[in-house]
Structure 1
Amino acid sequence: MKVIVFGGSGMVGQGVLRACLLDPGVTEVVAVVRRPLKRSAEKLREVLHDDFTDFSAVAGELTGADACFYCLGVSSAGRAEAEYQRLTYDYALAAARAVTAGSPELTFTYVSGEGTDSSERGRSAWARIKGRTENALLSMDMRAYMFRPGWIQPVNGETSRTRWYRVLYALTSWLYPVLRRVVPRHVTTTDRLGRAMLAVVRLDGGGPHILHSPDINRLGA
């Protein structure tokens, strides 16, 4: 199985890359990145690319894939709505069009988040834009799965690229065992998330197409 990963340098993307590299059913991992990941593996190939609204220059690298794991995301804090839409909606749709052009049977998984607004009419801009992105992806001619995790606990050394997220996780790492006991429906780990993404590819288009933490934990167990 050939898979394409967007956002491999982020916390979630690191977990997904690890799951892919460990899975014997994955034969090739193509990571589309702006900067080298500084990691090596026999089945990992990096594709350096700058413009995430236009992938025509690397289209040949994105053909023949069985799955695409889209883990690229940014915080909405301090960003204008138009900028957040470009980085969230425009980037994801451009990636989906690029990878499906040469792989009509591809499974596309998108990491959204708990609280995403499918109605696209709520007060929260980030939730509306995430909902708009999900709806657009689900309307495309492909096997699409939307992942809506709540609290994601990094394991196996994964770290966020966002400094204040790193600080937050460092200060609250003790909370995860508590949350897992008190609100297990709202927590997962980078490890389970990565394995769940691989699991939905093997559903061949079946199962729920919007997955929350309980679904993620079940599939990634």
Structure 2
Amino acid sequence: MKINAIITGATGMVGEGVLIECLQHPDVEQVLVINRKPGGVSHPKLKEIIHKDFFNLAPIESQLSGYNACFFCLGVSSVGMSNEAYKHLTYDLTIHFAQTLARQSPDLTFCYVTGASTDSSEQGRVAWARVKGATENAVMRLFTKAYMFRPGFMKATPGQKNVKSFYKYIAWLYPIGRTIYPAGFCTLKEVAVAMIKSATNGYEKKILEVKDIVALAKR
């Protein structure tokens, strides 16, 4: 099965890593990135739409049909943000985008990047984890083929431009952490390859923790 994928968040660390792998992978035929600002990447497989308001997709909705996978890598940190603002930019934005795709392509594979410690019960004490859990649950209700990716510490792909300062400063910890605590460490390449493989062949779990991401990437 060949993939025509939509990627969001391609100007961020995770999205850029996923984009790099998609452009190189033989199973991916076309890639559409939707960015708020130009990503500066040119490739025969790649099409870019510049669109600033993800809460109003009507102007670009007709351009979203014909794709069989979405790798949703758009997200914000909850640090310094009110619970209401974080929910709006996480749950509301993601679900609005997912609903738009579901109307056009209900059989699409939707891969959503959340994070380790996400709260599927939506009842825990940590606000961001509840919001992420609620978002996961809502996406899985929308799509039969939905996969939630919960990476921990991610090693950036060589050549990436958009790497968070936090990851740059502690990148030296990766080989140590991977050895001591493999359940918490993976590479962005593994995340991207696992997404591609979930779209081509599926996976037996809907929620992929780090060990699942690594296992699927190796298949």
Q: Could you say whether these structures have the same fold, taking a TM-score greater than 0.5 normalized by the shorter chain as the test?
A: yes
Moved over 2 A (4+): 157-161
Distance, in Å, in 1 between the alignment partners of 2:84 and 2:210 is 29
Match of 1:56 in 2: 58
CA apart distance, 1:3:
0.5
Distance, in Å, in 2 between the alignment partners of 1:97 and 1:131 is 17
2:22 corresponds, among 16, 20, 34, to 20
Distance, in Å, in 2 between the alignment partners of 1:106 and 1:170 is 34
Match of 1:86 in 2: 88
Match of 1:140 in 2: 142
Report the number of matched residues.
216
Match of 2:99 in 1: 97
1:190 corresponds, among 188, 191, 196, to 188
Match of 2:170 in 1: 172
1:203 corresponds, among 198, 201, 212, to 201
Structure 1 runs not aligned, ≥5 long:
none
Asked if the contact 1:15/1:158 (under 8 Å) is kept, the reply is: yes
- Whether 2:67 is the aligned partner of 1:65: answer yes
Structure 2 runs not aligned, ≥5 long:
none
TM-score when normalising by structure 1 = 0.94
TM-score when normalising by structure 2 = 0.95
Distance, in Å, in 2 between the alignment partners of 1:197 and 1:156 is 19
Asked if the contact 2:102/2:142 (under 8 Å) is kept, the reply is: no
| 3-state secondary structure, aligned to 2:208 | strand
Distance, in Å, in 1 between the alignment partners of 2:56 and 2:217 is 32
| 3-state secondary structure, aligned to 2:118 | coil
**What is the CA deviation profile of residues 151-185 of structure 1, one whole-angstrom value per residue up to 9, with x for unaligned ones?**
11112133546xxx41x222211100100100011
| 3-state secondary structure, aligned to 2:131 | helix
- Whether 2:129 is the aligned partner of 1:130: answer no
Distance, in Å, in 1 between the alignment partners of 2:118 and 2:162 is 21
TM-aligned CA distance change 1:20 to 1:124, over 3 Å: same
Asked if the contact 1:65/1:99 (under 8 Å) is kept, the reply is: no
Asked if the contact 1:115/1:127 (under 8 Å) is kept, the reply is: yes
- More deviation in 61-70 or 149-158? 149-158
Q: Percent identity, aligned pairs only?
A: 41
CA apart distance, 1:19:
1.2
Distance, in Å, in 2 between the alignment partners of 1:141 and 1:151 is 27
Q: Which amino acid aligns with 1:131?
A: G
Distance, in Å, in 1 between the alignment partners of 2:100 and 2:17 is 23
Q: Which amino acid aligns with 1:213?
A: V
Aligned-residue RMSD, C-alpha: 1.3
| 3-state secondary structure, aligned to 1:36 | coil
